[in-house]
Structure 1
Amino acid sequence: MAPGAPGPAATPGPTATPTPAAAPDAPGPIGPADPVGAPAPAGAGPAAGAGGVPAQPDWRRLSPRMLAVHPVQETARALPALLAVLVAGSSSGHSALWTLAGVAVTIGLGILRWATTSYQVSAEQVQVRRGFLRRRVLSTPRDRVRTVDLTSHALHRVLGLSRLTIGTGQSDRKEGLRLDGLTVAEAERLRVALLRRTASGQPTLPTQSTLPGQSTLPGQSTLPGQPTLPVPGRIPAGEFGAGGQFGESGQPTVAGPLDWSRADRPARETVLAALRPGWVRYAPFTLSGLVTIGIVFGFIYRLVNEAHLDPSRFGALRDLAHHLSQAPLGLAVTEVVLAAIVLVALASTFGYVLAFWSFRLARQDGGTLHVSRGLITTRATTIEERRLRGAELSEPLLLRMVVGARCIAIATGLRVGRGAERGGSLLLPPAPRREVVRVAAEVLRDPQPMTIALRSHGPRARRRRYVRALTLAAIVPAVLGVLWGVAGWPVWAPLVALVTLPAGALLAADRYRSLGHAVTGGYLVLRQGSMIRRRCALARDGIIGWHLRQSIFQRRAGLVTVIATTAAGRQRYALPDVEVGTSVPLVDRATPDLFTPFLVETPSR
């Protein structure tokens, strides 16, 4: 059975609208004296255009400094094509001329990209217009703005520029609306202004139901037994968008005109966490450098292969290959493994310093969480707290061995599925577990979700984990035993493979120990995983539906997988192998207003 929505509700994101090609307006770059969408002076009334129609804000260009950035970006993207042009032109003896022509075209495309890009910020929406032959307008309603991300790469920082990305709660396969080339000061002012919610312009909602028996706002029902809306605080997800917040008048807050006077004031904030030098010791246990080494190795391999180079011609590589060929097999394997471990540890530490240098998490007075970090490339992400639907405590296996963890936000408008660091949902990098728990409690304003003891899933769930793990672990020595008897493989192969059995038993025990759930206050707490143990505290008012799923093996064992759907984070949070008799009370306790109407009382015999 699946009461509620069967899947996560998609939040509308930016919409692209093709428009006829036209010469873009050319007002100068915005500055403190000419803000985008600045309100008219008090008593002046709205600006009017022809026929008395209120004038829209002007279309603005990006900073002219981007003329030094776009050509460099386009040249880097076109580097493979330029190399191909160089090789093709070498056959005719005009390789330099062809290369210069290719570079000129690439630079011209970069300049054209700046010349055909403009944007507009009004009280209702943010629009970006780009394209020359195919003009497109990308629009985002301001009341759909969930997060604002500011990123400055090395060249951006030299020129005093920043890239502003607006998150709107869309899928992680798409990018948010992006303004690449604002000055740092203007990007910061626009960030603050976009995340302000004003009381003006709020919709008028009925305070009393027009139909007999309907529930009223703020939350009383005229029929006995009918569920009511919870007040005050957040509106349940699905009401007025992906969750809202009541204002002082009882109405949900909405986006209003840009308040530049407040945006210019320095934000008052409370620092929740800041990077400490000692946290670098957790970097080697993240294995993030493994991916970097793999990418670099693949690039070098392709380069050597395409250039028809012989690595044995280089003295150092020739000596290393000769040493490994002369050493015993066991010693050679040990040396290679140790060298790889050291290299991965160094790369992980270097990447940790680059990504999280000057890390800082603060709660600002505008009702937002502000995360800033980065050494060469700086990044600042601002999350509205009313879009926050919980927090996740992530503990990869190696990091858990040294009592470390990291904290990830569960919020609408943040990309997921590509790593928390890239998606901007990281609230705390790998750090001591005690510190991570403290920060999560500060973010949630409640320490219980991260400290409460969880309820185990019983002996049937434990037996299911042992059966699955040991069955898979027994397949490896069985296959190697067949190959030893049929293909003449060495006899030690299946004997060594028998170590998979105790390894499988340890894995099953750890997976069961990690499995648990609890309902506390306003949160549903779920925990599972072994290689990466995740403890998720999901706000109960952010759950928009449930999905109960059973495989044929689960039906025989009397177990069910309970999946809570939400518009935030991964959108599906599963709790596997819950006893059938426990699943329905768990769902009903977590969201009684959502689930109770679907329950039928069974008459007692």
Structure 2
Amino acid sequence: MTGPARQPQQTGVAPTQPHPWRRLDARMLVVTPLDSVLRLLPVLAILLLTGRGDPMRVWIALGLTGLLVLLGALRWQTTRYRITDDRVELHKGWLHRQRTSVPRDRIRTVDLTAKLVHRIFGLSVVRVSAAAGSHAGAHQLDLDAVSTAEAEGLRRELLARRAPAPGAEVAAPAAPPAEELARLDPSWVRYAPLTVSSLAGIGVVLGALWRLFDDLGVDPLDVPTVGVAADRLAAAPVWLGTAVVGVLLLVLAVVGSVVLFVERWWSYRLTREADGTLRVRRGLLTRRSLSVSGRRLRGVLVSEPLLLRAGRGAQAWAVSTGLEKGAHGGALQPPVPRAEAGRVAAAVLREHPSVIIGAPLSRHPRAALTRRLTRALGSAAALVGVAWLVAARWPTLDWVGPASLALLPIALLLGLDRYRNLGHALTERYLVARQGSLHRRTVALQRSGVIGWTFRQSVFQRRSGLVTVQAVTAAGDRGYEVLDILAADGVALADATTPGLFDPMRPTPSSTPPVSA
């Protein structure tokens, strides 16, 4: 005879949660207010040493600092995160609650950032980027901030797609030695003025000078030296004033670009870890660490803007899923000599440079040259016509018409150079394509990473028998073009790159209609 079921014994111990929620590091409560206070140091120094400046700015900033302390405490109290077997979850917010969940199989990159104040307290910001299409539109997740050791452990765990043991703290396991692919060469700083950052450098230097004068409460023109220089410049001939301003802007551009280069790329190292993950570490004041999963890498792009190309420089970028769009979202290195960019691109793809950037490219048909020249010269001729109309309408600008004729030979050279840079090649594992003149780009895209093809043909291309073929991929720019090749060659290139992709569209023998007698 069966007796009554025994009730479970109450032990008074709560069951262990499989994947417990974690808090951010409590030291984050100090980081944000301290960062705000540090920004006040120049103003405080000016007030103490010179007695000039605006004391109200100090009181306002101190009040905001106190508010930041309160908000930081609330943020720390209401922020939780956890890592499960298949997801990374983040809950935060008090008045406005936010729930973020990122599937682990969609994680593409893990970026670690540590500003100077973060580094002082041994903290890092962990940014987890996932591929588009993750649930609830959760493409990015930030943990601000965790300890440096925990951040390193999170990076390895998330890229390896292994959940930590339930209830265990995340710690950085002993990793095998990484293969070093590149490190900073101080001579590369010579390429800094040849990049877009040189323009940003003007803003950096001018912004720093303007902030200094603003903290002093001084109008720059009230400074005797500056005022005298401005008066002399205004009284000088136009050509001389323009030349002086041009030289000053050039100096500011060079100085600013060098400063930005050093801050961004100091201590640069590119390594490949045992699991194939590429890691880029760089930064002087703000340390950054970008990790790109080797499983998600689909190729490398070598970028050569006009000025950098004129100095025989280039920069390699990763073509991978999940990378942020931005100035340095997938940069594998700073601006470097072109040979070094080709070497790094080949090393990242585990190929010889002659197979990637140095691969012999197939020339495009002469009709492509005609299109390049027609478009370049046509645009230049239109501008010349407008210039002559302006000269006829305003006699004081009669020099504009003759000066505009210089655009025609420039356009001719530009069209020839654009055609010279057109080319493509198909290797055993990669599709290599090059195009551009003002900005030449060479991409080596894995054939296995091509998921489709787009064929485009304008009215003018149809008359010339040309077509633009785009290899569609989930990585990078989502598609890379081979411009102006013969229509038959475009179809053959796509078929050879992805064998079998077009088989369902080909007619079968059974579908061929019988021929009537």
- The TM-score range, normalised by the shorter chain, is 0.7 to 0.9
Q: Select which of 354, 361, 368 maps to 1:454.
A: 361
Asked whether 1:382 is paired with 2:344, we answer no
Q: How does 1:470-489 map to 2 (within 5 A)?
A: 470-489=377-396
In the aligned structure 1, how far is the partner of 2:399 from the partner of 2:70?
65
Q: Select which of 471, 483, 487 maps to 1:576.
A: 483
CA contact (8 A) 2:108 2:296 kept: yes
In the aligned structure 2, how far is the partner of 1:538 from the partner of 1:152?
32
Q: 1:487 to 1:580 in 2, by over 3 A?
A: same
CA contact (8 A) 1:394 1:405 kept: yes
Q: 1:329 to 1:365 in 2, by over 3 A?
A: same
Quote the residue 2:21 is aligned against. Answer: 59
CA contact (8 A) 2:201 2:255 kept: no
Q: How does 1:34-73 map to 2 (within 5 A)?
A: 55-71=17-33
Q: Give secondary structure in 2 for the equivalent of 1:265.
A: coil
> 1:149 deviation in Å?
0.9
Q: Select which of 156, 177, 185 maps to 1:192.
A: 156
In the aligned structure 1, how far is the partner of 2:171 from the partner of 2:121?
26
Quote the residue 2:236 is aligned against. Answer: 327
Q: Give secondary structure in 1 for the equivalent of 2:490.
A: helix
> 1:70 deviation in Å?
3.2
Q: Select which of 344, 347, 350 maps to 1:445.
A: 350
Quote the residue 2:423 is aligned against. Answer: 516
> 1:135 deviation in Å?
2.0
> 1:109 deviation in Å?
1.5
Q: Give secondary structure in 1 for the equivalent of 2:333.
A: strand
- Residues 341-395 of structure 1: CA distance to partner in whole angstroms, max 9, x if unpaired? 2211111111111111111111111221111111111111111111100001111
Asked whether 1:549 is paired with 2:442, we answer no
> 1:328 deviation in Å?
2.4
Q: 1:153 to 1:365 in 2, by over 3 A?
A: same
Which one has the bigger helix percentage?
2
Q: Select which of 399, 402, 406 maps to 1:495.
A: 402
Quote the residue 2:67 is aligned against. Answer: 105
Q: Select which of 130, 133, 143 maps to 1:168.
A: 130
2:235 maps to amino acid: Q
Q: How does 1:82-481 map to 2 (within 5 A)?
A: 102-170=64-132, 176-197=140-161, 263-294=172-203, 297=206, 311-416=220-325, 418-419=326-327, 421=328, 423=329, 425-447=330-352, 448-481=355-388
2:440 maps to amino acid: R
Q: Give secondary structure in 2 for the equivalent of 1:450.
A: coil
**Identity value in percent:** 42
In the aligned structure 1, how far is the partner of 2:202 from the partner of 2:139?
27
The number of aligned residues is: 481
1:154 maps to amino acid: L
CA contact (8 A) 1:193 1:260 kept: no
Quote the residue 1:18 is aligned against. Answer: none
In the aligned structure 1, how far is the partner of 2:171 from the partner of 2:455?
47
Unaligned runs of 5+ in 2: 1-10, 40-55
Q: CA RMSD in A?
A: 3.4
- Residues 488-509 of structure 1: CA distance to partner in whole angstroms, max 9, x if unpaired? 2332211111111111111111
- Residues 136-162 of structure 1: CA distance to partner in whole angstroms, max 9, x if unpaired? 221112222211111101110111100
In the aligned structure 1, how far is the partner of 2:212 from the partner of 2:378?
43
Q: Select which of 410, 417, 440 maps to 1:533.
A: 440
CA contact (8 A) 2:202 2:249 kept: no
Q: 1:257 to 1:311 in 2, by over 3 A?
A: same
Q: Give secondary structure in 1 for the equivalent of 2:367.
A: helix
- Residues 424-482 of structure 1: CA distance to partner in whole angstroms, max 9, x if unpaired? x1112111111111111111111202211111211111111111111111222211211
Q: 1:300 to 1:432 in 2, by over 3 A?
A: closer
Tell me which moved more, 333-342 or 349-358: 333-342
In the aligned structure 2, how far is the partner of 1:551 from the partner of 1:75?
59
CA contact (8 A) 1:73 1:110 kept: no
In the aligned structure 2, how far is the partner of 1:55 from the partner of 1:391?
43
